[in-house]
Protein backbone atom coordinates (compact mmCIF):
# COMPACT_ATOMS: atom_id res chain seq x y z
CA UNK A 1 0.00 0.00 0.00
CA UNK A 2 1.36 3.41 -0.99
CA UNK A 3 0.91 5.85 1.86
CA UNK A 4 -1.57 8.63 1.20
CA UNK A 5 -0.45 10.27 4.45
CA UNK A 6 3.29 10.23 3.73
CA UNK A 7 3.94 8.40 6.99
CA UNK A 8 7.56 7.92 8.02
CA UNK A 9 8.27 4.16 7.61
CA UNK A 10 10.93 4.34 10.32
CA UNK A 11 8.44 5.76 12.80
CA UNK A 12 5.95 3.00 11.94
CA UNK A 13 8.69 0.40 12.42
CA UNK A 14 9.63 1.98 15.75
CA UNK A 15 6.01 1.88 16.91
CA UNK A 16 5.85 -1.88 16.28
CA UNK A 17 9.18 -2.45 17.97
CA UNK A 18 8.02 -0.57 21.06
CA UNK A 19 4.77 -2.56 21.07
CA UNK A 20 6.84 -5.75 21.03
CA UNK A 21 8.96 -4.53 23.95
CA UNK A 22 5.82 -3.62 25.89
CA UNK A 23 4.14 -6.94 25.11
CA UNK A 24 6.96 -9.43 25.65
CA UNK A 25 6.95 -9.32 29.48
CA UNK A 26 3.19 -9.97 29.43
CA UNK A 27 3.70 -12.92 27.07
CA UNK A 28 6.34 -14.32 29.41
CA UNK A 29 3.88 -13.95 32.28
CA UNK A 30 1.22 -15.79 30.27
CA UNK A 31 3.50 -18.69 29.36
CA UNK A 32 4.47 -19.18 33.02
CA UNK A 33 0.86 -19.52 34.21
CA UNK A 34 -2.40 -21.25 33.48
CA UNK A 35 -5.96 -20.50 34.57
CA UNK A 36 -9.01 -22.44 35.64
CA UNK A 37 -10.72 -21.63 32.34
CA UNK A 38 -7.78 -22.79 30.22
CA UNK A 39 -7.85 -26.14 31.99
CA UNK A 40 -11.61 -26.40 31.50
CA UNK A 41 -11.11 -25.58 27.82
CA UNK A 42 -8.75 -28.56 27.55
CA UNK A 43 -11.54 -30.78 28.84
CA UNK A 44 -14.06 -29.24 26.43
CA UNK A 45 -11.81 -29.82 23.42
CA UNK A 46 -11.39 -33.41 24.60
CA UNK A 47 -15.16 -33.86 24.41
CA UNK A 48 -16.44 -33.30 27.95
CA UNK A 49 -19.82 -31.60 27.61
CA UNK A 50 -23.06 -31.18 29.51
CA UNK A 51 -23.95 -30.09 33.04
CA UNK A 52 -25.26 -31.50 36.30
CA UNK A 53 -28.83 -31.12 37.53
CA UNK A 54 -27.99 -27.68 38.95
CA UNK A 55 -26.74 -26.46 35.59
CA UNK A 56 -23.05 -26.46 36.54
CA UNK A 57 -20.94 -27.76 33.61
CA UNK A 58 -19.11 -31.04 34.11
CA UNK A 59 -15.87 -29.35 33.05
CA UNK A 60 -16.18 -27.12 36.12
CA UNK A 61 -16.96 -30.05 38.38
CA UNK A 62 -14.00 -32.09 37.16
CA UNK A 63 -11.49 -29.22 37.13
CA UNK A 64 -12.60 -28.13 40.60
CA UNK A 65 -12.23 -31.67 41.94
CA UNK A 66 -8.71 -31.94 40.54
CA UNK A 67 -7.78 -28.53 41.92
CA UNK A 68 -9.07 -29.35 45.39
CA UNK A 69 -7.17 -32.64 45.39
CA UNK A 70 -3.79 -32.03 43.76
CA UNK A 71 -4.02 -28.51 42.35
CA UNK A 72 -3.81 -27.40 38.74
CA UNK A 73 -0.15 -26.41 38.65
CA UNK A 74 0.60 -29.49 36.55
CA UNK A 75 -2.52 -28.94 34.44
CA UNK A 76 -5.81 -30.81 34.58
CA UNK A 77 -4.87 -33.36 31.92
CA UNK A 78 -2.24 -35.39 33.74
CA UNK A 79 -4.26 -36.16 36.91
CA UNK A 80 -7.58 -36.46 35.05
CA UNK A 81 -6.45 -38.96 32.42
CA UNK A 82 -4.38 -40.84 35.00
CA UNK A 83 -7.56 -41.26 37.06
CA UNK A 84 -9.44 -42.26 33.92
CA UNK A 85 -6.95 -45.06 33.24
CA UNK A 86 -6.45 -46.15 36.84
CA UNK A 87 -10.15 -46.19 37.65
CA UNK A 88 -11.23 -47.87 34.44
CA UNK A 89 -13.81 -45.18 33.69
CA UNK A 90 -15.35 -45.40 30.22
CA UNK A 91 -15.21 -41.65 29.52
CA UNK A 92 -14.61 -38.20 30.98
CA UNK A 93 -18.30 -37.68 31.72
CA UNK A 94 -18.38 -40.68 34.06
CA UNK A 95 -15.14 -39.55 35.68
CA UNK A 96 -16.58 -36.06 36.23
CA UNK A 97 -19.75 -37.44 37.79
CA UNK A 98 -17.79 -39.63 40.17
CA UNK A 99 -15.35 -36.82 40.98
CA UNK A 100 -18.22 -34.46 41.80
CA UNK A 101 -19.53 -37.09 44.19
CA UNK A 102 -16.13 -37.31 45.89
CA UNK A 103 -15.49 -40.83 44.65
CA UNK A 104 -12.22 -40.22 42.75
CA UNK A 105 -8.70 -39.95 44.15
CA UNK A 106 -6.40 -37.86 41.96
CA UNK A 107 -2.61 -37.84 41.93
CA UNK A 108 0.28 -36.51 39.85
CA UNK A 109 1.60 -39.72 38.28
CA UNK A 110 5.17 -40.42 37.30
CA UNK A 111 7.10 -42.81 35.10
CA UNK A 112 5.17 -45.14 32.82
CA UNK A 113 1.86 -44.18 34.44
CA UNK A 114 2.43 -40.54 33.52
CA UNK A 115 3.38 -41.56 29.99
CA UNK A 116 0.15 -43.55 29.63
CA UNK A 117 -1.95 -40.64 30.90
CA UNK A 118 -0.18 -38.23 28.54
CA UNK A 119 -0.69 -40.47 25.55
CA UNK A 120 -4.40 -40.91 26.19
CA UNK A 121 -4.88 -37.18 26.87
CA UNK A 122 -3.14 -36.22 23.63
CA UNK A 123 -5.26 -38.68 21.70
CA UNK A 124 -8.49 -37.31 23.20
CA UNK A 125 -7.60 -33.65 22.68
CA UNK A 126 -6.32 -34.33 19.16
CA UNK A 127 -9.74 -35.68 18.25
CA UNK A 128 -11.30 -32.40 19.35
CA UNK A 129 -8.73 -30.36 17.43
CA UNK A 130 -9.52 -32.53 14.39
CA UNK A 131 -13.16 -31.43 14.73
CA UNK A 132 -12.02 -27.79 14.75
CA UNK A 133 -9.93 -28.47 11.65
CA UNK A 134 -12.89 -30.11 9.93
CA UNK A 135 -15.12 -27.12 10.72
CA UNK A 136 -12.52 -24.76 9.26
CA UNK A 137 -12.33 -26.87 6.12
CA UNK A 138 -16.13 -26.90 5.90
CA UNK A 139 -16.19 -23.10 6.01
CA UNK A 140 -13.66 -23.01 3.18
CA UNK A 141 -15.76 -25.39 1.08
CA UNK A 142 -18.97 -23.45 1.69
CA UNK A 143 -17.37 -20.16 0.67
CA UNK A 144 -15.99 -21.85 -2.43
CA UNK A 145 -19.34 -23.41 -3.31
CA UNK A 146 -21.33 -20.22 -2.65
CA UNK A 147 -19.60 -16.83 -2.70
CA UNK A 148 -17.73 -14.51 -0.37
CA UNK A 149 -19.32 -11.04 -0.31
CA UNK A 150 -16.99 -8.17 -1.22
CA UNK A 151 -15.74 -5.88 1.50
CA UNK A 152 -16.72 -3.82 3.33
CA UNK A 153 -18.79 -6.47 5.04
CA UNK A 154 -21.97 -5.17 6.67
CA UNK A 155 -22.06 -6.26 10.32
CA UNK A 156 -25.33 -6.30 12.26
CA UNK A 157 -26.18 -7.19 15.86
CA UNK A 158 -29.13 -9.22 17.13
CA UNK A 159 -29.81 -9.19 20.84
CA UNK A 160 -33.24 -10.37 21.92
CA UNK A 161 -32.14 -12.66 24.74
CA UNK A 162 -34.02 -15.57 23.16
CA UNK A 163 -32.07 -17.67 20.66
CA UNK A 164 -35.31 -18.71 18.97
CA UNK A 165 -36.14 -15.03 18.39
CA UNK A 166 -32.58 -14.19 17.35
CA UNK A 167 -32.63 -16.75 14.53
CA UNK A 168 -35.45 -15.28 12.38
CA UNK A 169 -34.13 -11.76 13.01
CA UNK A 170 -30.64 -12.80 11.91
CA UNK A 171 -31.99 -14.51 8.80
CA UNK A 172 -34.08 -11.46 7.92
CA UNK A 173 -31.02 -9.21 8.30
CA UNK A 174 -28.97 -11.47 6.03
CA UNK A 175 -31.69 -11.33 3.38
CA UNK A 176 -31.53 -7.53 3.59
CA UNK A 177 -27.75 -7.56 2.87
CA UNK A 178 -26.04 -8.13 6.25
CA UNK A 179 -22.83 -10.10 5.74
CA UNK A 180 -21.94 -10.70 9.40
CA UNK A 181 -24.40 -11.45 12.21
CA UNK A 182 -23.23 -10.81 15.77
CA UNK A 183 -25.23 -12.36 18.59
CA UNK A 184 -24.48 -10.03 21.46
CA UNK A 185 -24.10 -11.74 24.83
CA UNK A 186 -26.43 -11.40 27.75
CA UNK A 187 -25.38 -8.60 30.10
CA UNK A 188 -23.00 -9.88 32.76
CA UNK A 189 -22.14 -13.22 31.18
CA UNK A 190 -18.47 -12.24 31.07
CA UNK A 191 -18.52 -12.25 34.88
CA UNK A 192 -19.74 -15.85 35.11
CA UNK A 193 -16.97 -18.38 35.78
CA UNK A 194 -18.84 -21.07 33.87
CA UNK A 195 -20.49 -21.36 30.44
CA UNK A 196 -24.26 -21.96 30.62
CA UNK A 197 -25.54 -25.11 28.97
CA UNK A 198 -28.11 -25.64 26.25
CA UNK A 199 -30.44 -23.36 24.29
CA UNK A 200 -31.43 -20.28 26.29
CA UNK A 201 -34.43 -17.94 26.10
CA UNK A 202 -33.93 -15.57 29.05
CA UNK A 203 -30.93 -13.35 28.36
CA UNK A 204 -30.99 -9.67 29.31
CA UNK A 205 -29.98 -7.23 26.54
CA UNK A 206 -28.42 -10.17 24.72
CA UNK A 207 -28.41 -13.94 24.41
CA UNK A 208 -26.21 -16.28 26.44
CA UNK A 209 -23.19 -17.67 24.61
CA UNK A 210 -23.61 -21.45 24.84
CA UNK A 211 -22.53 -24.27 22.58
CA UNK A 212 -26.11 -25.14 21.67
CA UNK A 213 -26.92 -21.51 20.85
CA UNK A 214 -23.83 -21.42 18.63
CA UNK A 215 -24.95 -24.60 16.88
CA UNK A 216 -28.50 -23.42 16.33
CA UNK A 217 -27.52 -20.04 14.87
CA UNK A 218 -24.77 -21.50 12.69
CA UNK A 219 -27.20 -24.04 11.23
CA UNK A 220 -29.78 -21.31 10.56
CA UNK A 221 -27.25 -19.05 8.84
CA UNK A 222 -25.96 -21.97 6.77
CA UNK A 223 -29.51 -22.48 5.53
CA UNK A 224 -29.79 -18.79 4.68
CA UNK A 225 -26.35 -18.77 3.07
CA UNK A 226 -27.43 -21.52 0.68
CA UNK A 227 -30.67 -19.65 -0.01
CA UNK A 228 -28.81 -16.42 -0.84
CA UNK A 229 -25.82 -17.95 -2.59
CA UNK A 230 -23.30 -16.18 -0.34
CA UNK A 231 -21.68 -17.14 2.93
CA UNK A 232 -23.07 -15.31 5.98
CA UNK A 233 -20.63 -15.06 8.87
CA UNK A 234 -21.45 -15.52 12.55
CA UNK A 235 -19.85 -13.63 15.45
CA UNK A 236 -19.93 -13.95 19.23
CA UNK A 237 -17.79 -12.91 22.19
CA UNK A 238 -14.71 -14.72 23.57
CA UNK A 239 -14.09 -12.55 26.60
CA UNK A 240 -14.57 -12.55 30.34
CA UNK A 241 -13.79 -15.29 32.83
CA UNK A 242 -14.51 -18.09 30.32
CA UNK A 243 -12.69 -16.63 27.33
CA UNK A 244 -10.69 -19.84 26.50
CA UNK A 245 -13.74 -22.09 26.78
CA UNK A 246 -15.91 -19.90 24.57
CA UNK A 247 -13.08 -19.78 22.03
CA UNK A 248 -12.98 -23.57 22.02
CA UNK A 249 -16.75 -23.83 21.57
CA UNK A 250 -16.58 -21.31 18.72
CA UNK A 251 -14.03 -23.45 16.92
CA UNK A 252 -16.02 -26.62 17.49
CA UNK A 253 -19.25 -25.04 16.16
CA UNK A 254 -17.69 -23.03 13.26
CA UNK A 255 -18.16 -19.45 14.24
CA UNK A 256 -16.33 -17.11 11.88
CA UNK A 257 -15.47 -14.10 14.04
CA UNK A 258 -15.07 -13.59 17.76
CA UNK A 259 -14.76 -10.44 19.81
CA UNK A 260 -11.39 -11.07 21.46
CA UNK A 261 -9.50 -8.10 22.84
CA UNK A 262 -6.44 -8.12 25.07
CA UNK A 263 -7.73 -5.34 27.37
CA UNK A 264 -11.51 -4.93 26.95
CA UNK A 265 -12.43 -7.27 29.81
CA UNK A 266 -9.91 -5.59 32.08
CA UNK A 267 -11.10 -2.05 31.51
CA UNK A 268 -14.84 -2.44 30.97
CA UNK A 269 -15.67 -5.59 32.98
CA UNK A 270 -13.04 -5.39 35.75
CA UNK A 271 -11.62 -8.82 34.96
CA UNK A 272 -8.20 -9.21 36.56
CA UNK A 273 -5.47 -8.07 34.13
CA UNK A 274 -3.20 -11.06 34.69
CA UNK A 275 -6.08 -13.52 34.23
CA UNK A 276 -7.12 -11.75 31.03
CA UNK A 277 -3.72 -11.77 29.36
CA UNK A 278 -3.16 -15.45 30.15
CA UNK A 279 -6.61 -16.43 28.90
CA UNK A 280 -6.41 -14.31 25.74
CA UNK A 281 -3.19 -15.99 24.58
CA UNK A 282 -4.71 -19.47 24.73
CA UNK A 283 -7.99 -18.29 23.20
CA UNK A 284 -6.12 -16.75 20.27
CA UNK A 285 -4.22 -19.98 19.70
CA UNK A 286 -7.60 -21.66 19.32
CA UNK A 287 -8.84 -18.92 16.99
CA UNK A 288 -5.70 -19.26 14.88
CA UNK A 289 -6.31 -22.98 14.45
CA UNK A 290 -10.00 -22.48 13.70
CA UNK A 291 -9.43 -19.79 11.06
CA UNK A 292 -11.51 -17.32 13.08
CA UNK A 293 -11.16 -13.56 12.58
CA UNK A 294 -10.89 -11.73 15.89
CA UNK A 295 -12.48 -8.33 16.51
CA UNK A 296 -10.77 -6.08 19.04
CA UNK A 297 -12.46 -3.46 21.20
CA UNK A 298 -10.56 -0.20 20.85
CA UNK A 299 -13.78 1.57 19.88
CA UNK A 300 -14.88 1.30 23.52
CA UNK A 301 -12.08 3.59 24.71
CA UNK A 302 -13.70 6.43 22.80
CA UNK A 303 -16.97 6.05 24.69
CA UNK A 304 -15.26 6.90 27.99
CA UNK A 305 -12.27 9.00 26.85
CA UNK A 306 -12.32 11.98 24.47
CA UNK A 307 -12.03 10.68 20.87
CA UNK A 308 -9.70 13.51 19.85
CA UNK A 309 -7.44 13.66 22.89
CA UNK A 310 -7.28 9.87 23.26
CA UNK A 311 -6.99 8.94 19.57
CA UNK A 312 -3.41 7.77 20.07
CA UNK A 313 -4.47 5.28 22.79
CA UNK A 314 -6.53 3.50 20.14
CA UNK A 315 -3.49 3.12 17.90
CA UNK A 316 -1.34 1.95 20.82
CA UNK A 317 -3.91 -0.68 21.76
CA UNK A 318 -4.17 -1.83 18.14
CA UNK A 319 -0.40 -2.27 17.94
CA UNK A 320 -0.41 -4.23 21.21
CA UNK A 321 -3.33 -6.36 20.02
CA UNK A 322 -1.43 -7.03 16.80
CA UNK A 323 1.69 -8.13 18.70
CA UNK A 324 -0.21 -10.43 21.04
CA UNK A 325 -2.24 -11.89 18.18
CA UNK A 326 0.72 -12.65 15.90
CA UNK A 327 2.68 -14.08 18.82
CA UNK A 328 -0.21 -16.45 19.55
CA UNK A 329 -0.27 -17.67 15.94
CA UNK A 330 -2.96 -15.58 14.28
CA UNK A 331 -2.27 -14.33 10.78
CA UNK A 332 -2.71 -10.77 9.58
CA UNK A 333 -5.95 -11.60 7.73
CA UNK A 334 -7.44 -12.61 11.09
CA UNK A 335 -6.83 -9.26 12.80
CA UNK A 336 -10.12 -7.39 12.81
CA UNK A 337 -8.68 -4.45 14.73
CA UNK A 338 -11.34 -2.08 16.01
CA UNK A 339 -11.80 1.68 15.98
CA UNK A 340 -14.74 4.07 15.89
CA UNK A 341 -16.38 7.20 14.50
CA UNK A 342 -17.06 8.87 17.86
CA UNK A 343 -15.92 12.51 17.61
CA UNK A 344 -18.54 15.03 18.68
CA UNK A 345 -20.09 16.35 15.44
CA UNK A 346 -20.05 19.84 16.98
CA UNK A 347 -16.23 19.84 16.97
CA UNK A 348 -14.90 21.93 14.06
CA UNK A 349 -13.58 19.76 11.21
CA UNK A 350 -14.88 16.65 12.98
CA UNK A 351 -15.30 14.73 9.73
CA UNK A 352 -11.75 15.59 8.64
CA UNK A 353 -10.47 14.34 11.99
CA UNK A 354 -12.40 11.09 11.52
CA UNK A 355 -10.91 10.69 8.03
CA UNK A 356 -7.41 11.27 9.40
CA UNK A 357 -7.84 8.68 12.15
CA UNK A 358 -9.44 6.08 9.88
CA UNK A 359 -6.87 6.50 7.12
CA UNK A 360 -4.03 6.28 9.63
CA UNK A 361 -5.32 2.96 10.95
CA UNK A 362 -5.84 1.66 7.42
CA UNK A 363 -2.23 2.47 6.49
CA UNK A 364 -0.74 1.09 9.69
CA UNK A 365 -2.49 -2.27 9.18
CA UNK A 366 -2.86 -2.65 5.39
CA UNK A 367 -3.56 -6.40 5.41
CA UNK A 368 -5.94 -6.48 8.38
CA UNK A 369 -9.75 -6.65 8.05
CA UNK A 370 -10.41 -3.54 10.12
CA UNK A 371 -13.69 -3.29 12.00
CA UNK A 372 -15.12 0.23 12.05
CA UNK A 373 -17.73 1.11 14.67
CA UNK A 374 -20.51 3.71 14.23
CA UNK A 375 -21.24 6.76 16.38
CA UNK A 376 -22.99 5.98 19.65
CA UNK A 377 -22.43 8.54 22.39
CA UNK A 378 -23.55 11.50 20.28
CA UNK A 379 -26.80 9.88 19.15
CA UNK A 380 -29.11 12.28 20.96
CA UNK A 381 -32.53 10.87 20.13
CA UNK A 382 -32.91 13.13 17.09
CA UNK A 383 -33.33 10.27 14.62
CA UNK A 384 -32.92 12.52 11.57
CA UNK A 385 -29.57 13.90 12.76
CA UNK A 386 -28.58 10.37 13.82
CA UNK A 387 -29.38 8.96 10.39
CA UNK A 388 -27.25 11.69 8.77
CA UNK A 389 -24.39 11.03 11.19
CA UNK A 390 -24.51 7.32 10.35
CA UNK A 391 -24.31 8.20 6.65
CA UNK A 392 -21.17 10.23 7.35
CA UNK A 393 -19.76 7.21 9.20
CA UNK A 394 -20.54 4.96 6.24
CA UNK A 395 -18.92 7.47 3.89
CA UNK A 396 -15.78 7.65 6.01
CA UNK A 397 -15.68 3.86 6.05
CA UNK A 398 -15.76 3.44 2.28
CA UNK A 399 -13.40 6.38 1.66
CA UNK A 400 -10.73 4.85 3.89
CA UNK A 401 -11.21 1.23 2.80
CA UNK A 402 -12.48 -0.18 6.08
CA UNK A 403 -13.22 -3.90 5.94
CA UNK A 404 -16.12 -4.45 8.34
CA UNK A 405 -18.80 -1.81 8.98
CA UNK A 406 -20.98 -2.27 12.02
CA UNK A 407 -24.08 -0.47 10.90
CA UNK A 408 -25.26 2.48 12.95
CA UNK A 409 -28.89 2.94 13.90
CA UNK A 410 -30.83 6.06 14.71
CA UNK A 411 -32.29 4.28 17.75
CA UNK A 412 -28.78 3.40 18.90
CA UNK A 413 -29.72 3.53 22.58
CA UNK A 414 -32.17 0.63 22.24
CA UNK A 415 -30.56 -2.79 22.69
CA UNK A 416 -33.14 -4.48 20.49
CA UNK A 417 -34.26 -1.89 17.93
CA UNK A 418 -37.29 -2.31 15.70
CA UNK A 419 -36.77 -4.40 12.58
CA UNK A 420 -37.86 -1.37 10.57
CA UNK A 421 -34.97 0.63 12.05
CA UNK A 422 -32.53 -2.08 11.07
CA UNK A 423 -33.97 -2.06 7.57
CA UNK A 424 -33.44 1.69 7.28
CA UNK A 425 -29.88 1.36 8.62
CA UNK A 426 -29.10 -1.34 6.05
CA UNK A 427 -30.58 0.85 3.33
CA UNK A 428 -28.30 3.70 4.43
CA UNK A 429 -25.09 1.67 4.27
CA UNK A 430 -26.10 0.02 0.99
CA UNK A 431 -26.69 3.40 -0.62
CA UNK A 432 -23.35 4.81 0.49
CA UNK A 433 -21.45 1.65 -0.41
CA UNK A 434 -23.01 1.47 -3.88
CA UNK A 435 -22.81 5.19 -4.59
CA UNK A 436 -19.33 5.90 -3.21
CA UNK A 437 -17.64 2.53 -2.90
CA UNK A 438 -14.83 3.53 -5.29
CA UNK A 439 -14.30 6.96 -3.79
CA UNK A 440 -11.34 5.71 -1.78
CA UNK A 441 -9.19 5.23 -4.85
CA UNK A 442 -9.55 8.96 -5.64
CA UNK A 443 -9.32 10.18 -2.03
CA UNK A 444 -5.81 11.58 -1.52
CA UNK A 445 -5.39 14.09 1.31
CA UNK A 446 -3.54 17.27 0.40
CA UNK A 447 0.21 16.87 1.08
CA UNK A 448 1.00 18.74 4.26
CA UNK A 449 -2.68 19.47 4.79
CA UNK A 450 -4.92 19.12 7.83
CA UNK A 451 -5.61 15.38 7.47
CA UNK A 452 -1.97 14.44 6.93
CA UNK A 453 -0.76 16.58 9.80
CA UNK A 454 -3.37 15.17 12.17
CA UNK A 455 -2.50 11.58 11.27
CA UNK A 456 1.19 12.24 11.85
CA UNK A 457 0.43 13.87 15.18
CA UNK A 458 -1.53 10.82 16.36
CA UNK A 459 1.24 8.48 15.22
CA UNK A 460 3.84 10.59 17.03
CA UNK A 461 1.77 10.59 20.22
CA UNK A 462 1.39 6.80 19.89
CA UNK A 463 5.13 6.30 19.67
CA UNK A 464 5.68 8.48 22.72
CA UNK A 465 3.10 6.54 24.74
CA UNK A 466 4.48 3.17 23.62
CA UNK A 467 7.96 4.24 24.66
CA UNK A 468 6.67 5.07 28.12
CA UNK A 469 4.73 1.80 28.39
CA UNK A 470 7.75 -0.23 27.26
CA UNK A 471 9.78 1.39 30.05
CA UNK A 472 7.20 1.31 32.85
CA UNK A 473 5.36 -1.90 31.92
CA UNK A 474 1.95 -2.54 30.39
CA UNK A 475 0.35 -3.64 33.66
CA UNK A 476 1.52 -0.39 35.25
CA UNK A 477 0.05 1.61 32.38
CA UNK A 478 -3.31 -0.13 32.73
CA UNK A 479 -3.30 0.51 36.47
CA UNK A 480 -2.69 4.21 35.75
CA UNK A 481 -5.80 4.54 33.57
CA UNK A 482 -3.97 4.89 30.26
CA UNK A 483 -6.74 3.21 28.27
CA UNK A 484 -10.34 4.37 28.54
CA UNK A 485 -9.40 6.55 31.57
CA UNK A 486 -10.18 3.57 33.82
CA UNK A 487 -7.67 2.39 36.43
CA UNK A 488 -7.27 -1.37 36.83
CA UNK A 489 -4.46 -2.58 39.13
CA UNK A 490 -2.76 -5.90 38.37
CA UNK A 491 -3.87 -7.42 41.68
CA UNK A 492 -7.49 -6.26 41.41
CA UNK A 493 -10.61 -7.31 39.57
CA UNK A 494 -12.41 -10.61 39.21
CA UNK A 495 -10.72 -13.91 38.50
CA UNK A 496 -7.27 -13.56 40.06
CA UNK A 497 -8.01 -16.62 42.22
CA UNK A 498 -8.23 -18.60 38.99
CA UNK A 499 -4.60 -17.87 38.03
CA UNK A 500 -2.13 -20.70 38.72
CA UNK A 501 1.66 -20.73 38.33
CA UNK A 502 2.82 -23.61 36.17
CA UNK A 503 4.89 -26.24 37.97
CA UNK A 504 7.84 -28.05 36.42
CA UNK A 505 6.29 -30.77 34.31
CA UNK A 506 3.14 -28.78 33.53
CA UNK A 507 1.25 -30.56 30.76
CA UNK A 508 -1.37 -29.11 28.44
CA UNK A 509 -2.03 -31.32 25.41
CA UNK A 510 -4.14 -28.65 23.73
CA UNK A 511 -1.40 -26.03 23.92
CA UNK A 512 1.16 -28.52 22.61
CA UNK A 513 -0.99 -29.33 19.58
CA UNK A 514 -1.95 -25.70 18.90
CA UNK A 515 1.62 -24.41 19.19
CA UNK A 516 2.82 -27.11 16.81
CA UNK A 517 1.01 -25.42 13.90
CA UNK A 518 -2.34 -25.05 12.18
CA UNK A 519 -2.25 -28.43 10.50
CA UNK A 520 -3.99 -29.21 7.24
CA UNK A 521 -7.32 -27.44 7.51
CA UNK A 522 -8.12 -27.64 3.83
CA UNK A 523 -6.68 -24.22 3.04
CA UNK A 524 -8.38 -20.85 3.07
CA UNK A 525 -10.66 -19.54 0.33
CA UNK A 526 -8.64 -17.70 -2.28
CA UNK A 527 -11.58 -15.39 -2.95
CA UNK A 528 -11.63 -14.05 0.61
CA UNK A 529 -10.26 -10.52 0.49
CA UNK A 530 -9.66 -10.44 4.21
CA UNK A 531 -7.34 -13.41 3.96
CA UNK A 532 -5.44 -12.58 0.78
CA UNK A 533 -5.17 -8.84 1.21
CA UNK A 534 -6.28 -8.60 -2.43
CA UNK A 535 -8.35 -5.49 -1.84
CA UNK A 536 -5.37 -3.58 -0.50
Count H helices and E strands in the chain, helices first.
Answer: 20, 11
Whether 92 is covered by a domain: the verdict is yes
Does 187 lie in the same domain as 290? yes
Does 411 lie in the same domain as 359? yes
What CA–CA distance (Å, rounded) separates 58 from 62?
6
Catalytic residue among 155, 237, 264, 323: 264
Does 219 lie in the same domain as 174? yes
Does 150 lie in the same domain as 122? no
Q: Indicate the pTM of the whole model.
A: 0.94
Query: Alpha-carbon torsion 251, 255, 261, 265, what sign?
Result: negative
Domain boundary residue, one of 452, 478, 498: 452
Does 192 lie in the same domain as 292? yes
- The one-digit pLDDT tens for each residue of the chain (536 residues) are 789 999 999 999 999 999 999 999 999 999 999 999 999 999 999 999 999 999 999 999 999 999 999 999 999 999 999 999 999 999 999 999 999 999 999 999 999 999 999 999 999 999 999 999 999 999 999 999 999 999 999 999 998 999 999 999 999 999 999 999 999 999 899 999 999 999 999 998 899 999 999 999 999 999 999 999 999 999 999 999 999 999 999 999 999 999 999 898 999 999 999 999 999 999 999 999 999 999 999 988 888 889 999 999 999 999 999 999 999 999 999 999 999 999 999 999 999 999 999 999 999 999 999 999 999 988 888 989 999 999 999 999 999 999 999 999 887 666 567 778 889 999 999 999 999 999 999 999 999 999 999 999 999 999 999 999 999 999 999 999 999 889 999 999 999 999 999 999 999 999 999 998 755 444 453 333 333 333 32
Short-list 77, 68, 67, 61, CA closest to 118: 77
Q: Is 371 considered catalytic here?
A: yes
Does 157 lie in the same domain as 118? no
What CA–CA distance (Å, rounded) separates 17 from 441?
30
The enclosing domain of 331 has a CATH number of 3.20.20.440
* Contact present, 71 and 499 (Cβ < 8 Å): no
CA trace torsion 65, 71, 77, 79 (10° rounding): -80
In terms of DSSP bridges, do strands 371-373 and 335-336 run parallel, antiparallel, or are they unpaired?
unpaired
Whether 374 is covered by a domain: the verdict is yes
Does 90 lie in the same domain as 55? yes
Short-list 440, 448, 458, CA closest to 361: 458
Whether 471 is covered by a domain: the verdict is no
Domain boundary residue, one of 126, 157, 188: 126
Q: Give residue 333's pLDDT.
A: 97
Domain count, the chain: 2
Does 160 lie in the same domain as 68? no
Q: Is 222 considered catalytic here?
A: no
Please, what is the angle between helix 211-228 and helix 163-175, to 10°? 20
Using DSSP's 3-state secondary structure scheme, residue 274 falls into helix
Catalytic residue among 82, 166, 261, 299: 299
Does 96 lie in the same domain as 59? yes
Does 314 lie in the same domain as 226? yes
Does 43 lie in the same domain as 170? no
Whether 23 is covered by a domain: the verdict is no
What CA–CA distance (Å, rounded) separates 101 from 453?
66
How far, CA to CA in Å, does 175 sit from each of 168, 226, 374? Answer: 11, 11, 22
Short-list 505, 507, 512, CA closest to 126: 512
* Contact present, 372 and 339 (Cβ < 8 Å): yes
Q: Measured in Å, how far apart are the chain's first and last C-alpha atoms?
A: 6
Does 229 lie in the same domain as 86? no
* Contact present, 266 and 474 (Cβ < 8 Å): no
Whether 514 is covered by a domain: the verdict is no
Whether 7 is covered by a domain: the verdict is no
Domain boundary residue, one of 418, 434, 452: 452
Quote the domain boundaries for residue 57: 33-126
Phi-psi category of 222—alpha, beta or left, where left has phi over 0 and alpha has psi -120 to 50?
Answer: alpha
Whether 167 is covered by a domain: the verdict is yes
Catalytic residue among 4, 82, 279, 371: 371
Whether 345 is covered by a domain: the verdict is yes
Amino acid sequence: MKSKLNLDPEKVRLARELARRAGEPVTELATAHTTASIERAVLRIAGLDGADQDGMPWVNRLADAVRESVGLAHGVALPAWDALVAGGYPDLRTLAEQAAAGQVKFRIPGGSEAAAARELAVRSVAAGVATIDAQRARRTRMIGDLADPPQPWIYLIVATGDIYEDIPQAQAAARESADVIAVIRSTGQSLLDYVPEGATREGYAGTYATRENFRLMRAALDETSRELGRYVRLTNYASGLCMPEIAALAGLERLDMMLNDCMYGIIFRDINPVRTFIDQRFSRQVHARAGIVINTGEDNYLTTADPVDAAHTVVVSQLLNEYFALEAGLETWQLGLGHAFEINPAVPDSFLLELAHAQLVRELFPGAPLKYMPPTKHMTGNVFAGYLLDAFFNLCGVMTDQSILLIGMMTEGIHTPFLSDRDLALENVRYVRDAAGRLGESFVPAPGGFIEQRAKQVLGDSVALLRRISEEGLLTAIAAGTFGITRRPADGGRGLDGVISRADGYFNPASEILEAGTGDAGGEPAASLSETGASR
